[in-house]
Each structure stands twice: as C-alpha cells, then as structure tokens.
C-alpha cells in the first residue's frame, strides 16, 4: 500500500466525461489498496473565460480580487471529481487550497508556498477517503485566497507530496511523458523513461512546456520523485528523480528547441566594470528576461554584448536599450532578428568527454552556422537561424543515438 | 451617513453589463457618504448549470460536495463586482461567506445560520471600503462550506444587516416591490409603499415569490427594516417593517392568489381522538405540506376531513391516504381536483370589523362558489374553482378599494 499524490491538468478534467474517466483511473488505484490524494486544475477554458469577464469590467483588475475569481475554477473541479468518485462507490471529499492548509505569502496571482499543514488530509486518508485538493490556490496568513501563478497546480501536487511524505507523485497531463525531442520535429523521438531534475529543468528552460521550472526545483529541493504521464492512456510515463547511478550511462537525454528567441546586440560599449550590469539591470526593471549572453572585446577598448530575449519582449527591449545607449557614448543597439535555440541536455556530460566536439562537428557537417553559444554543466545551447532548426534537431538526435 | 446593506439577486448581476450597472448604483450611495455592504447572488443560470453538471456525474450528489460546488457561483460574482467598483474608483473588497463569518449548522444545502461574526467587515468599512459578501453561503464550525437553501441570499443580507446593526437593508430584485395584487391579473394593482412582516409572510405563504418566509421571519425576529425594490429603475420599493401605527389605517394590504393547490377529502372517518393526527403524521412523513384544513362532522359519528396540498404532491398524497384508509374502516379518499386559493391579507383586520362580511358578500355578488375557508388573524383565504380565480381577485381588489 502506497500513498500516491496525483495531479490532473485542465484538459484531463475538461468536461464531465473526462472527469468521469479521471474518477475511474483513481478508483483503479483505490481498488489496488493505495491511499490517494488528487490535485486538480480548473477545467480547460474556465480560467480564460473568467479572466475575459474580469477584463470586461476592469482592464487592470485588482490582484486580490483576481485570485478570489480564479480560485472558483478549481473549486468547481474538486466538487465534481468528488461526486464522480462517489457515483463509482469510492468515498471522496474535496478540499480547497485553504482547507488543505496550503499557506502562501501575500503576493497575489504569483504567491509562493510558505507552509503546508495539510489540514485534515491525513485524517481523511485514515478514514479511507480519497482527498481531492484544489490546485493552483492557497491562502495567506490573514485568510485571503491566493493563487500560485503559472504551473501552480503542479506545484500544489509536488508540495503536497513532500508534506505528506507520499511514496509517489503522478503528474497527469495531455502528453504521455518527456521525449528525447519534439516528436513533431523528430519522427524517431523516444519517450524518456527516467531523467534527473536538472535535465528536466534545462528542458523546461528551453520552452518545453511540460512543467514549470519552479515545480521541478521544489521537487528537487524536497527530493520528491514524480512521474509525468498521460491521463488518456495507460502507458508508463517519464519518471523524474535525483541523478541516479543508472542515469550516468546515458550521456544525452534529449534535444530541445526554442523558436521564440530574438538576438540583440549592443555594440561599441565602453569596456569598463559595471556597464553590462547597468544594461541588464534596466532590462530586469522592465521585466525582460535575458538568455544566452555572450560578450566579445572589440578593438579600441570597446565591447560587444550579445544576448537573446523572448520574441514577445523584443520591441520593449529595444526601447529600453535605446535609452541606455544614450548614456553610453557611441553605443548602438541592433536587433538582429529571430533565432532558434537548440540544446542538448544530459547529466552524462559531467563524466563523458567529447560531447561538445560531437555537437559542433554535427552542426558543421550539416552546414549550420552558429550565431551564439552558451553552455552549462549539463547542457550545450546554440543560437542558429530559424530555417536550420529542424535540420539541427534531427541531426543531433541521430548523432547522439537518441533514437536507439 | 448610514450603514446600508444591499442585496442584488441573480438577474441583477446576470452579466457583466448588469454587474457594472449594480456597481454604478452602489457608487451613488458611496458618493452620498454612506457605508455600504453588498450581498450578491450567483449570476442567473450559473447555479442551474452547476447542478446540471453535477447530476451528469452523479444523480444523487453528496450534499457537502454540492455546497462546495454551488458556492462557486457567488464567489465569482463578489470578485467581479469588486473589480467593477474598482474600475469606477470605488475601493471595494470581496468576502466569501466563510470570510464574512457567516457561521451555520452542518445541514448541507439547507443550513441554518447560527452566528454571524462579520469577520473584518467593520474594519473594512472603517477604511472606507465597500464590502462585497457572497450570499447564500456560509461555513460550519469545522470549516466546511455550506449553503442556505432557497432564498439564501436574502437571508444572508438580512442576517448581516442585523449583525452589523445596519440602518437599512435593501433587497434589489427584478420586480419593483410588492403589489396589492398580481398586476398580470389586476390591471389596477398598486405598489404597496409600506407593509408589516406578518403581511408579507402571509403573502409569501401564498406563492408570492418575492421573498422566502424564512428571510422575513428572520427580519421580524431581529427587527430588520428592509425595502424590496428593482435594480433596473430608481422607483421607491416596498418597505417592510414591524406593524407601525401608520399601518393600522390600512385595513387590507393585498389580494393574493395561489393556483397550485389540489383539494383532498377523506370521508367517513371514525370521529375519535387521534385520527386526524394520524392522517397528518403520515402525510408529514412523506414530506407533504398540508394547507387549508377543514373538518366537518357527518352523520353517525363519522367525520369528513378536507384540506389542500400542492398540485405536485397530489398523487403522492393519494397513495399515502389510500394506505391510511385501509386501517380506518369505511373511510375513502377523494381527490376533487385543482382549486385556486384566494386570500386577502392585512394587519388592519385585527382592529377593523366587517372584513369577513365584505369578503363573502363580494364573492356571493359575483356568484362564486366557496369550497373551503380558512382564516388567520390577518388573513382570510378561500378555495374556489380555478375558473373563478381571476374574477374573484379583481372583485376583492376593487371591493377593498386597493386601487385607490
């Protein structure tokens, strides 16, 4: 008998038929003798409908009221899921975030979990009830409803799994796991059976939308083993855990691509301490996240700074940088257009040499020009032309034998 | 400066346009220097949608989960209303039933209010904020969400007005007040400007759907003066309060009709103590409410018992009574068909003689046959043929000069 925390996303509970399917799946675990805590999201579409209604009334709705409004979505799903289980003869009880003791700070719409008391969840489990908890929401210490921001329901599930010392945490979604590459690009992409938190974090940071980084980081910090799998079939998914001995044999776990980046160059910057810091501070103040930074010394004590930003932030970044350049005599901003960021990720890089060599040899053999390079301990990323992205991903996937 | 509690029903907040209209109305009171607490219902249609979704999953949903589900409707409205006020520059904050300290017993879907703490409402009012409270819902002492049943939002408003010692409680609805008769039947019907709790209770018990009896009874018990008025215009409504000296001049407040009654006669009942009690007990156990009871002694120590039940309960009542008659030798059940119950109501009856005489003289002059009569201190009701109902209501309305 295990204690399992399961999380079902918005598409998995999108309508009453799907909620009934989720209930049948939960019943299977109950029938096998497990104790189950279920975290659910709002039905897909509900949150967007609520936001649209709010914006009709107020283009900039108060964030506390926004949380009060959005919490409604999950509250509907927990009650419906409990009713569906009851109709299958499974005793179930719903709990809002507040009732489940998911305590957060007061940062409405993007609250951080400060504590999980669990409320009376353990007592309910002892009474052989399935407990259905509203994901994405919590309560601050003065009793205001808060929400956790994007990917909040995953975080609710992983945090509950940690607090309840669950044996397993299952993240049910509309994809059946994490793949060695996007199957729409690489036809021979395979599902990864096991990977480390760090690898998934590197994947997530490259636009792989399976999970938000904060949930993976929380799992890593509290050592919560979780499985990403589909709620629409019974295939095994991808298990994510600490770097295990078995993982070391695998050099590279996957190839990822992010086509949503724009390359920005600030040229002829006075090469003195604090200049880069000033540039990045202004971008940070404008809420712009910077990725893939490269600095080169040019002639005459001047430097060029190249980095990438999200395509959506490109024009805002240009405005900010134009202002900064006015204070930096002779500097220019150049937005050189959208690029693709292609990366290989694998904890095996730590112990295996030759990964970088194979990486660049493969791109060269395919005549792909590299515009930016960044690396981490377990990742190599390059910025290349959007036109080359598909060719690069396929070539790397094959070169690192990910299809084997 | 007054403290006003306002309640807006489901049609008044039916869509974002209407919510904005409600916000403008509230702003008017704030601009006039009043402190305002607002109780809102779910948008019309939302509760029915939620119930339909629940029944798809479970024909007999657990009542605790039903309350968790239905509470969503009002929670959406409070947040949207607060946002609408904010967009008009009025500071507002929303509170769920639990946050407003509306404490109830544990009778899910029909909970009774046991205590109102008010939460931090007074503090918010002191900070010049409008407080928007979710109607219809509360919380039991162990933290479960409860709902108050039909007419629950009116009850929330009146109970809050009592707890906060409000100067006035306004019940905004889709009718502009309480009328001397149904304007669809009596073209000369007038809006009543003031009436007593008892009169409204007698009206309510006759199918006048403006307010549920429990809310009026609560107001009476705690002496909460309230006004029933329309949210779609600015006309004065009907003020409901204790019997005041000024009310005594008015003999009759209104004429009401209920066309949803069926007359039942149980004949040849042994005329001995306890027989009627047994009959009514069996009906009560079957959940059937009995109205307008008349007993006549027939020949040979046998009695006839006539009463009315709701048309919807008629066939169930017949089954119950057939069983009872088997134990009462020689008795028979006779369902004599649907009738109309026509009543005149007025606290003035207490002090004015001749009301009954005028009542029966009027019906006789119009050749209307009376099948059952019941009276209370402030009401005379008769059961008559459905065909005569309209004629009777108009004749009585005119005879008691309600059109003047």
Instruction: Select from A16, A72, A96 the Cβ nearest to the Cβ of B53.
Output: A16
| Strand partners of residue B296 | B304
B218 CB neighbour count, 10 Å cutoff? 20
* pLDDT score, position B295: 75
Domain B255-399 -> CATH class: alpha beta
- Strands ordered across the beta sheet of A35-40: A92-95, A130-134, A35-40, A3-8, A168-173, A226-230, A238-241, A194-196
Structural tokens at position A375:
């690396």
Token duo for residue B185: 């039947």
Confirm if B81 and B23 have CB atoms less than 8 A apart. yes
What does the alpha-carbon distance between residue B14 and residue B46 come to, in Å, rounded to a whole number? Answer: 9
Using DSSP's 3-state secondary structure scheme, residue A317 falls into helix
C-alpha B293/C-alpha B309 separation (Å) is 10
For the cut 60, the answer to whether the pLDDT of residue A279 exceeds it is: yes
Residue of A156, A157, A208, A172 lying closest to A12 (CA atoms)? A172
Choose, out of B38, B80, B99, the residue to mutate when testing the contact with A (most A CBs < 10 Å): B80
Residue ranges of the alpha helices (H) in A88-146? 121-126
Q: Rounded to an integer, what distance in angstroms lies between the CA atom of residue B235 and that of residue B229? A: 8
A299-307: average pLDDT: 81
From A95's Cα to the closest Cα of chain B, the distance in A is 9
Per-residue pLDDT tens listing for chain B (404 residues) = 899 999 999 999 999 999 999 999 999 999 999 999 999 999 999 999 999 999 999 999 999 999 999 999 999 999 999 999 999 999 999 999 999 999 999 999 999 999 999 999 999 999 999 999 999 999 999 999 999 998 899 999 999 999 999 999 999 998 889 999 888 889 999 999 999 998 888 876 655 567 888 899 999 999 999 999 999 899 999 999 997 655 556 778 899 998 889 999 888 888 777 788 888 888 888 888 888 888 777 677 788 888 899 888 888 999 999 888 888 777 888 887 889 999 999 888 877 778 888 999 999 999 999 888 888 888 899 999 999 999 999 999 999 999 88
Give the contacts of B36 (CB within 8 A, at least 6 positions apart): B3, B4, B5, B6, B26, B29, B30, B130, B131
Q: Give the pLDDT band (50/70/90) at residue A324.
A: confident
**CA B43/CA B76 separation, integer angstroms:** 8
CATH topology of domain B3-174: Carbamate kinase (3.40.1160)
Q: Nearest-CA residue of chain B relative to A15?
A: B53
How many CB pairs below 8 Å do chains A and B form together? 104
Whether the per-residue pLDDT at A296 is higher than 90: the answer is no
What distance in Å separates the CA atoms of residue B286 and residue B318, rounded to the nearest whole number? 11
Closest-CA residue in chain A for B47? A76
Q: Is the model's pTM score more than 0.90?
A: no
Contact at 8 Å (CB) between B344 and B250?
no
Residue of A nearest to B57 (CA): A84
Cβ-based interface (< 8 Å): residues of A facing B: 16, 19-20, 23, 50, 53-54, 56-59, 61-62, 64-66, 68-69, 71-72, 75-76, 78-80, 82-84, 86-87, 93-94, 96, 99, 143, 145
- Which of A13, A40, A54, A80 should we substitute to test contact with B (largest number of B Cβ atoms within 10 Å)? A80
Which helix (H) or strand (E) segment holds residue B68: the answer is helix B63-87
How many residues belong to chain A? 404
Residue of B79, B101, B131 to mutate, interface with A, max A Cβ within 10 Å: B79
Average pLDDT, rounded, for chain A: 90
Which residues in B have their CB inside 8 Å of a CB on A?
16, 19-20, 23, 50, 53-54, 56-59, 61-62, 64-66, 68-69, 71-72, 75-76, 78-80, 82-84, 86-87, 93-94, 96, 99, 143, 145
CA distances, B370 to each of B306, B311, B334, B367, B385 (Å): 13, 19, 18, 10, 8
Q: Which residues of B touch A83 (CB under 8 A)?
A: 54, 57-58, 61-62, 65-66, 69
Complete DSSP assignment for B298-366: -GGGEEEEEEEEEGGGHHHHHHHHHHHHHHSTT-EEEEEEEEEEEEEE-GGGGT-SSHHHHHHHHHHHT
ipTM for the predicted complex comes to: 0.81
Selected for mutation to probe chain A from B68, B132, B139 (highest A CB count within 10 Å) is: B68
Averaged over A112-141, what is the pLDDT? 97
Contacts A102 to B, Cβ<8 Å: none
- The two structure tokens encoding residue B345: 């109501």
Residues in A touching B71 (Cβ below 8 Å): 75
Residue of A nearest to B87 (CA): A58
Distance from C-alpha of A229 to C-alpha of A236, rounded to nearest angstrom: 7
The band of A326, judged by pLDDT with boundaries at 50, 70 and 90, is confident
- Give the residue extent of every domain in chain B: 3-174, 255-399
Residues of B in contact with A64 (CB under 8 A): 93
Strand partners, A301: none
Strand A379-385 relative to strand A370-376, pairing: antiparallel
Cβ contact B62–A75 (<8 Å): no
Task: Decide if pLDDT at A404 tops 60.
Answer: yes
Cα distances (Å, whole numbers) of residue B61 to B58, B68, B89, B397: 5, 11, 42, 46
Instruction: Determine the pLDDT at residue B184.
Output: 87
- pLDDT for B205 equals 61
Identify which of A326, A292, A289 has the alpha carbon closest to the alpha carbon of residue A307.
A292
Of B50, B61, B87, nearest to A58 by CB-CB distance is: B87
Distance CA A239, CA A192 (A): 8
pLDDT greater at residue A272 or residue A39: A39
Cα–Cα distance, A46 to A42 (Å, whole number): 6
Within 10 A of A44 (CB to CB), how many other CB atoms are there? 17
Of B58, B66, B68, nearest to A78 by CB-CB distance is B68
């Amino acid at each position: 008998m295990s204690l399992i925390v399961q999380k079902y996303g918005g598409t998995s509970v999108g309508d009453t038929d799907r909620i009934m399917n989720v209930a049948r799946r939960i019943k299977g675990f109950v029938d096998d003798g497990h104790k189950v805590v279920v975290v659910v999201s709002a039905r897909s579409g509900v949150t967007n409908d609520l936001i649209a209604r709010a914006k009709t009334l107020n283009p900039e709705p108060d964030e506390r009221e926004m949380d009060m409004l959005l919490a409604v979505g999950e509250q509907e799903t927990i009650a419906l899921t409990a009713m569906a289980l009851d109709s299958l003869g499974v005793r179930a009880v719903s709990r809002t975030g507040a009732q489940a003791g998911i305590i957060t700070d007061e940062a409405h719409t993007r609250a951080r979990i400060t504590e999980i008391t669990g409320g009376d969840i353990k007592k309910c489990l002892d009474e052989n009830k399935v407990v259905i908890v509203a994901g994405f929401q919590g309560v601050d210490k003065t009793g205001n409803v808060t929400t956790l921001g994007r990917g909040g329901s995953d975080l609710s599930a992983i945090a509950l799994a940690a607090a309840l010392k669950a044996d397993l945490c299952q993240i049910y979604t509309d994809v059946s796991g994490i793949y060695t590459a996007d199957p729409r690009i690489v036809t021979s992409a395979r599902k990864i059976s096991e990977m480390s938190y760090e690898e998934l974090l590197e994947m997530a940071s490259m636009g792989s939308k399976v999970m938000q980084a904060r949930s993976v980081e929380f799992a890593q910090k509290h050592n919560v083993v979780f499985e990403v799998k589909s709620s629409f079939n019974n295939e095994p998914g991808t298990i994510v855990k600490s770097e295990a001995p078995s993982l070391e044999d695998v050099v590279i776990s996957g190839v990822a691509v992010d086509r949503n980046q724009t390359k920005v160059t600030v040229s002829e910057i006075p090469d003195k301490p604090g200049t880069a810091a000033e540039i990045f501070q202004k971008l940070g103040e404008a809420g712009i996240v910077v990725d893939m930074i490269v600095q080169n010394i040019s002639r005459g004590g001047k430097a060029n700074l190249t980095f990438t930003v999200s395509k959506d932030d490109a024009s805002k970044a240009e405005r900010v940088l134009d202002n900064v350049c006015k204070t930096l005599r002779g500097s220019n901003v150049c937005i050189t257009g959208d690029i693709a960021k292609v990366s290989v990720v694998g904890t095996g890089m730590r112990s295996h040499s030759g990964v970088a060599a194979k990486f660049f040899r493969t791109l060269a053999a395919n005549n792909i020009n590299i515009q930016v390079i960044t690396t981490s301990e377990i990742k190599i990323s390059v910025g290349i032309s959007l036109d080359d992205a598909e060719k690069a991903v396929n070539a790397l996937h094959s070169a690192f034998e990910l299809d084997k």
